[in-house]
Structure 1
Amino acid sequence: MAIFNLGSINADHVYDVPHLPAPGETLAATRFTTGLGGKGANMSVAAARAAAHVQHIGAVGADGRWAVDRLLEYGVDTRHIHQIDTPTGHAIIAVDGGGENSIILYPGANRVISTDMIGAALSTAQVGDTLVMQNETCGQVEAAGMAADLGLRVAYAAAPFDADAVAAVLGRIDLLFLNAVEAAQLSDHLGKPLEALGVGDVIVTLGGDGCRWIHAADGTDRHFDAIPVTPVDTTGAGDTFTGYVLAGLDRGMPMAQAISLATRAAALMVTRHGTADVIPDLSEVQAFRP
């Protein structure tokens, strides 16, 4: 099977700072790095490193050829990534000593993906494949409709969060990823609890407290503990978790087993500085002993 990812591709400019800047404050960074990022690219790399066949649907500018090459090096199928005239997206990320981050995002080419690009990519999909989307691109409603009609599993990581954007695809998705704040905001916006959203599976990530899995069909509402580690950088941990969950499901794992594997991957990820370039592969995750 395959995972199709309608996902962002960014250059991540990461600054290590003594604390996250307050309004009007100027800080001197202690370290600066540039690497591959974007929620979409992170998820593609994570799923590929977890042994899934991943086809990325996206766009870069002329300045983004290196990012496509990097994705290919990490095992991602890049045939559906288009080069267009808009500059590649980028993020400015500040990371403090405790691993917390603050991010400024420029969408760039990620917001100029056409419906024709999406349709051409999904025309190669087969029943039982997976489509995953986030909110750093355009075309989610159209892509969800196409994928559902083709018999794909449709997964949606609802970040950066927009309650109206989530509501627009609820009738077409099978698996929804949210963090705790997003879950509360969505429930308030729609006036209904997560188990009543009409989505087969909802996973709420809780950071250091683990995650919650809700399976509507049988009323499952299960908590998974996080693996205790000392974090140095939380950037990309949620994307790593999502990619590993999807890869596990793609390989036929039960949901609980896929979540447990993804929890290990995310725990290992937060012990590293960086984003897509440092996402652990499956052998590292299996060998990880916190």
Structure 2
Amino acid sequence: MTIWNLGSINADFAYGVPRLPGPGETLAAGSLTRGLGGKGANLSVAAARAAARVVHVGAVGPDGRWAVERLLEYGVDTRHIAEVGEVTGHAVIAVDPDGENCILIWPGANVAIPEAARDAALAEARVGDRAVAQNETNGQAAWLGTAKRLGLSTAYVAAPFDPQAVGAVLEDVDLLILNEVEAAQLEAALGRRVSDLGVPDVLVTMGAAGVRWHGGGGAQDFVAPRVEAVDTTGAGDTFAGYVLAGLDRVMPMAQAIGQAQVAAALMVARPGTADAIPDLKEVQDARLGP
């Protein structure tokens, strides 16, 4: 089957800093790298590296052709990435020695994805395929609603978090992925527990504490593998991409979660975003303890 990802594409400018800056503070960075990023691109690369067939639906500006080429190199189908007049989205990322980060994002072309590009992609989809979106593009609610009506399985990664954006897609989502802070914010905004949202499967990531799966008749916790974090940027996107790829290969949810946790653990142990995502062989060969 195929994973259809309506997702952002960014140029990531990552700066190594001695600590994350406080209000009004100026810091000198010790390093700078430019790489492929954006939650959508990261997810597409992760799913493709996990051996899924992935079609990315999005947009770049004329300055972003290199990003499309990079996605293609990783095995992502890029036929439905439009070139628009807006500048390509980009992110400025500060990463401290402990791997923690803060990120400033300019959406650019990611919020100018033509409706025609979205429609053309779903016109090729088949019943049983998977459609996924995150909150870094325009057209998320319409995309997931159409996909659901066409018989696709739908997923939403609730980041960057906005309770209104999540609320707008809930009735059309089969799988919701969010972190524990976002889960608490969503519960406060909606007045309901995440287990009572009517979504068949909800995954709450908790960093080093692991993952909680609400679904299958109850809640189940999964312990995270232990690694020394170098850079946590993109770990959640890697997890989501690997989960979707595992489910697409008809893995049970628990097995898909376990594989995705290993992929995310390997990811945080190295610097970078999309370019640092491990492939399936690395994940299968990894020996990580809890």
Aligned to 1:283: 281
Aligned to 2:100: 100
Aligned to 1:232: 230
Aligned to 1:257: 255
The answer to whether the 8 Å contact 1:5/1:132 transfers is yes
In the alignment, the residues of structure 2 paired with residue 158 and residue 176 of structure 1 have an alpha-carbon distance, to the nearest angstrom, of: 7
In the alignment, the residues of structure 2 paired with residue 4 and residue 19 of structure 1 have an alpha-carbon distance, to the nearest angstrom, of: 38
Give the letter aligned to residue 29 of structure 1: A
Residue 201, structure 1, aligned to residue 195, structure 2:
no
* Percent pairwise identity: 65
Q: CA deviation at 1:261?
A: 0.2
Equivalences for 1:66-145 in 2 at 5 Å?
A: 66-145=66-145
Q: CA deviation at 1:61?
A: 0.2
Q: CA deviation at 1:41?
A: 0.2
The answer to whether the 8 Å contact 2:6/2:58 transfers is yes
Q: CA deviation at 1:90?
A: 0.1
> What is the CA deviation profile of residues 84-133 of structure 1, one whole-angstrom value per residue up to 9, with x for unaligned ones?
11000000000001000000000000000122211110110000000010
Partner of 2:169, secondary structure, is helix
Partner of 1:78, secondary structure, is strand
For structure 1, the 5+ residue unaligned runs are: none
Partner of 2:78, secondary structure, is coil
The answer to whether the 8 Å contact 1:115/1:142 transfers is no
Q: CA deviation at 1:219?
A: 2.4
Q: CA deviation at 1:195?
A: 1.3
In the alignment, the residues of structure 2 paired with residue 113 and residue 35 of structure 1 have an alpha-carbon distance, to the nearest angstrom, of: 21
The answer to whether the 8 Å contact 2:82/2:114 transfers is no
Aligned to 1:174: 174
The answer to whether the 8 Å contact 1:113/1:138 transfers is yes
Instruction: State the Cα RMSD in Å.
Output: 0.6
Aligned to 2:158: 158
TM-score if structure 1 supplies the norm length? 0.98
Q: CA deviation at 1:282?
A: 0.1
Give the letter aligned to residue 259 of structure 1: I
Give the letter aligned to residue 171 of structure 1: E
> What is the CA deviation profile of residues 179-234 of structure 1, one whole-angstrom value per residue up to 9, with x for unaligned ones?
0010011111111111110100000000000110001xx42200000000100000
In the alignment, the residues of structure 2 paired with residue 39 and residue 145 of structure 1 have an alpha-carbon distance, to the nearest angstrom, of: 20
Aligned to 2:20: 20
The answer to whether the 8 Å contact 2:57/2:118 transfers is yes
Give the letter aligned to residue 135 of structure 1: N
The answer to whether the 8 Å contact 1:212/1:223 transfers is yes
Give the letter aligned to residue 12 of structure 2: D
In the alignment, the residues of structure 1 paired with residue 226 and residue 197 of structure 2 have an alpha-carbon distance, to the nearest angstrom, of: 31
Residue 148, structure 1, aligned to residue 148, structure 2:
yes
Q: CA deviation at 1:152?
A: 0.4
> What is the CA deviation profile of residues 22-56 of structure 1, one whole-angstrom value per residue up to 9, with x for unaligned ones?
11111111111000000000000000000000000
For structure 2, the 5+ residue unaligned runs are: none
Residue 266, structure 1, aligned to residue 243, structure 2:
no
Q: CA deviation at 1:280?
A: 0.2
In the alignment, the residues of structure 1 paired with residue 224 and residue 196 of structure 2 have an alpha-carbon distance, to the nearest angstrom, of: 26
Partner of 2:77, secondary structure, is coil
Aligned to 1:62: 62
In the alignment, the residues of structure 1 paired with residue 163 and residue 230 of structure 2 have an alpha-carbon distance, to the nearest angstrom, of: 30
> What is the CA deviation profile of residues 258-286 of structure 1, one whole-angstrom value per residue up to 9, with x for unaligned ones?
00000000000000100001100000111
In the alignment, the residues of structure 2 paired with residue 22 and residue 191 of structure 1 have an alpha-carbon distance, to the nearest angstrom, of: 33
Partner of 2:59, secondary structure, is strand
